[in-house]
Structure 1
Amino acid sequence: MKPARHYLARQPITDDRQQLVGYELLYRNSQDSLHNALGGTLEADTALLTNLLGSVQQTNGLLEDKLVYLNVGEAMLMSEMVELLPANRVRLEVSARLASSRELLARMRSLRQQGFTFSLDHFELTPSVEPFLDQVSAVKLDVQRLTPAILSSAADRLRHYPLLRIAERVEAPSQFRLCQELGLEAFQGYHFAHPETLTGQSLPPGLYNVLRLLSLVRADAPIAEIETILKTDLALSLKLLRFVNSAAAGQPVRIQSFAHAVTVLGYRRLYRWLTLLLITSETAARPHSVLVRTATVRARTLENLAERLGLPQTQRDILFICGLFSLLDVTLDVPMQTILRQVALPAEVSATLEHRTGRAGDLLALVCSLERMDTGAATTRLAQDQDLDAQTVNDCHCEAIGWAETLGL
């Protein structure tokens, strides 16, 4: 297989409670384009689909158990190549700008008989889309392109069809609320990753001890100080003991005290466990499970990139923490400055989280660009600045997605 010249991203689709219901796979080329790379000529689509299937095969977690939306052009749709995709896992996304010819509609009916389902993109209130509406299971409404009045009319028109109405390119909480008011059932975009103005909030009480422990571990404090906090937090101490027992499974180790547990685990592994516990805690994760997944994938992708770049273990750990904490302000609804005051982090981590500076900030910008896929050229430029090619970035990202899914987030 030729090295990939395209970047693969996976954008979540959520319900009105921001719980994950599916993904759209975005596969963009290195040109300055806002559009998915699939949907061109048959030759181009075939090459991209081959690379996509190769990336998917690297990790079972890329598709996982959620429905995946994938743009396909007319040439690909009419070819046998599309039948290589798993019909029960993939929803084929077609553009409403295509001519609804007899041949195209017949092909869609044939694929539906094979178990495929369809979604309709670029929806507009025009007679030309009517033939598609009986063939699709979902319709996407672009909130950046449609005015609120047209969006409302479209939502009402589609209410009469047995299909899922998805608001796409939802980039702000105000847009999310508008779409909720219109009764739309699903949402795509990064509205949940853009905080509104946060002032005066404090950290949830249940996370305070986790942050205290993170500070102590980071400062290489005596085990006795760590043990003192664990003795005052029954829930946290039980979680730690379960984790240590799991980590020591198969070894003749009997945990005799909290101090012994910390010794067996080691400060580095304890620090990693505490950071994961912080973002996956019940307080943090209940309303924002998609954010938790995104932050975890960011962390692992950054760690993988650091390894490919030959960076030392200390730098890999720093990048992991940067990725994991990069959405913590949105997850907890607490300003990042408040969080940074509560936990002693390396100066590079604090600077990256607050100002996105330094090499860690550049690598974090690359991963965020990959998530958003604003433009293929922007992602390419950020990757080239770090001496990374598309294949390496895709491999690191795909492995991170699979790894995050093994955590059961």
Structure 2
Amino acid sequence: MTAFFIGRQQIFDSKLETFAYELLFRGTHFDLSAPEEATHATNQVISDTILQIGLNEIVGPHKAFINFTDQNLLEKTPLNLPNDRIVIEVLETVTVNDAIINSIRELSQAGFTIALDDFVLSDAWLPVLEYVDIIKIDVLANDLDYTRRQIELLKPYKLRLLAEKVQTREEYELLKSWGCELFQGFFFSEPHLVSGIRMDVDHASALQLLAAANKADACYEDIGRIIGRDVSLSYKLLHYINSAFFALPMEIESIPQAISFLGLKELQRWVNILMLSSLSVKPRIVLQFALIRARMCELLAHEMGEDGDRYFLVGMLSSADAILGVSMDRAVQQLPLTQEVAEAILHKSGKTGQVLEYAMSYQPWEVSAHAFQNIDPQRVAGIYLDSILWAGAVLGNIGLNG
């Protein structure tokens, strides 16, 4: 697990009501002056915003401005994002050429709002303007006379003008009178840091998931199998459904149900966002306990004549607090779980909770004391052993054994 920070600064309309937020990379492990590292920083902001914190939690119902580099645009990274929530902010460092123009045109036609950052009108940018919705003008970069001339030159293009780095009320009133509709700067709001804990995903698991989700004959069962054996993938999938941009018709009680709800297209979108992250291996012992517990809950459910999917999910998420470094209440609150599943995890209530509690307290050297639901104690011991062997095989397959 890794702590991370995202800068968030409000953007206001002319009535000083919140229009959107700009999300900014805040960290030390990428040099933003290096093009490739700036691209990685954007990818990190996207993955942390959508997979870790949740878009609704960080910007509420508003849009999110995110900076995109040449490489982000050429790779069509925004196409993995919701076009009604993300404003593509094209950095001033982007070099305008035919490939960039084509990418911006495609993204505009896909329904995205396009903004140009720190814009200065020049011949190179003229072919792009027909696809642009918002121009950001850096008020601090030049004197106000120069800024006014730029605004006058841009008026024929019927674009929305956003004055950024506004420092005083006088500047705000003046820029508003000149035609600016949107405003950003220290006069209104300084950037605030939003922190979170990044739950790492095993790189091998993520690659397997990417391959399975993007096959021509993609199979829900194969995808579900990969997700179901990884705690953080399961958590991220549920968090994505709950906090991004879906109107849930029901609450979720199993991974197969979550996959079925998303559908293949949205599932592929989620996997592609996931791959933007800097993936690393989580501590083996945490995953091992979660896998053993989940498998044991599933097999006990089968012995009781119950479908095992819900029990497996409860077992997996019973380790969410250890994985995220937050309270279990907080972890469960962020997921679209049924009341039964949530209560089972939090309070060990209901039949599912009883199975979880039994699996968590099971001690193999006290076999005679561990009869459960009329299941023979020797069979329970066999289930426990099978769960250990299964977890070991899974960990070995994704390179985490030993």
| TM value normalised by structure 2 | 0.44
Higher relative contact order (CA 8 A, sep 6+): 1
Structure number with larger C-alpha Rg: 2
| TM value normalised by structure 1 | 0.43
